[in-house]
Amino acid sequence: MVEKTPLLDFFTYAFLIFGILIVGFPIIYSLIAATLPLEDVSRVPMPLIPGDQFMVNIREAWTRGDLGTQIFNSFVMASGITVGKIAISMIGAFSIVYFDYRFRAAAFASVFCTLMLPVEVRIMPTYEVAANILGPLQPVWDFLHMDGLLSWFAGHDVEVLLNWSLLDSYTGLILPLVASATCTFLFRQFFLTVPDELCEAAKMDGASPMTFFRKVLFPLSKTNIAALVVIEFVYGYNQYLWPLLITTNPKMTTAVIGLQNLIPQADDLPEWNIALGAAVLVMLPPILVVLFMQRWFVKGLIEKEK
């Protein structure tokens, strides 16, 4: 489409600029509000000329909400989810595509079925699982009469209650979100397009499965991995409901939850400048990650959803 239609171009540009203004509107407004002192931000109407209080507001939000710790937590959570999800899914897909064992079909079907389950349905029982991740093992333990066995060994009565809570921990923030059917599915689709000859050649040369994975599959998957790193990082960083449920300690919670506590309530001073400053700050990391890795991101998205 190399054609010049000045009138249409003009309308297109006008439309686009209008669009940008609409999209950018709340964000620009927030940026301005974040630079104003309290008396300006609560004045009617609020001035639309930026003030000079940006650093002051950000510092206030930083200390009041303990944002430093929480942004660090968000990074730990996002990185943990990214690394764990990609590693587990990739190895899982490797196993499903390249190995033959009795439960292969069953394993794949069970992973695939979870694609159908909406998160909301299982979020509450997931919380129960995380509150005591060894809970499901208790019936097995009791069934095997392990208490009796231990008592026999120890010579006196022993009662074992299996209990390992993931609440208020990094493990709890990360682990339940790591097993991913979508991600596994993506890797499976990709591995299926890798020519069989590569695998056979590796076999001829006497490469073990692990060597094949390390030397052939991994280098081939680098593009996919890069795309997934971006997507999963953004996904992990923006998680809301899960950290809200599983953390009660403000030192363990994430930046997104911390933000919520800065919203002025009905009886507080309307300190929107501080809340909006914090919001702008918390928004930044995903935007930066995508800016630096835009090419991978878009490629990955288009491949992921098709």
* Subset of 254-293 contacting other proteins (CB under 8 A): 256, 259-260, 262-263, 270, 272, 275-276, 279-280, 282-283, 286-287, 290-291
* Cis previous bond, 45, omega within 30: yes
Of the two residues 184 and 252, which places its CB atom closer to other proteins in the complex? 184
Give the integer Cα–Cα distance in Å for 185 and 163.
33
CB of 146 to other proteins, least distance (A): 20
The owner of tokens 């190895």 is: 91
Radius of gyration of the chain (CA): 26
Of 39 and 157, CB closest to other proteins? 39
Q: Quick one: 98 or 141, whose CB is closer to other proteins?
A: 98
Instruction: Tell me the per-residue interface mask from 203 to 242 with other proteins, x by CB under 8 A, - otherwise.
Output: x-----x--x---------------------x--xx-xx-
Total number of residues that touch other proteins (CB under 8 A): 98
**Least distance in angstroms from the C-beta of 154 to other proteins:** 29
Contact between 192 and other proteins per CB under 8 A? no
User: Counting contacts by CB under 8 A, is residue 294 touching other proteins?
Assistant: yes
25-84 residues in contact with other proteins (CB under 8 A) are 25-27, 29-30, 33, 41-46
**Binding marks (x or -) toward other proteins, 9..28, rule CB under 8 A?**
---x--xx--xx-xxxxxx-
Which residue, 236, 300, 243, 289, is CA-closest to 81? Answer: 236
Q: Which residue has the tokens 């935007």?
A: 287
Nearer to other proteins, 40 or 147 (CB): 40
**Cβ distance to other proteins smaller for residue 113 or 152:** 113
Is 298 an interacting residue with respect to other proteins (CB under 8 A)?
yes
Per CB under 8 A, does 176 bind other proteins? Answer: yes
Start-to-end Cα distance in the chain: 26
Residue with tokens 């897909």: 93
128 to 167, contacts with other proteins by CB under 8 A?
A: 128-130, 133, 136
> Rounded to whole angstroms, how far apart are CA atoms 277 and 261?
13
DSSP-derived 3-state class of residue 103: coil
Q: Which two tokens stand for residue 175?
A: 């682990």
Residue 186 touching other proteins (CB under 8 A): no
Q: Which of 69, 79, 126, 171 binds other proteins (CB under 8 A)?
A: 126
Q: CB under 8 Å, gap of 24 or more: what pairs does 289-296 form?
A: 289/230, 289/233, 289/234, 290/230, 290/234, 293/226, 293/229, 293/230, 296/223, 296/226, 296/227, 296/229, 296/230
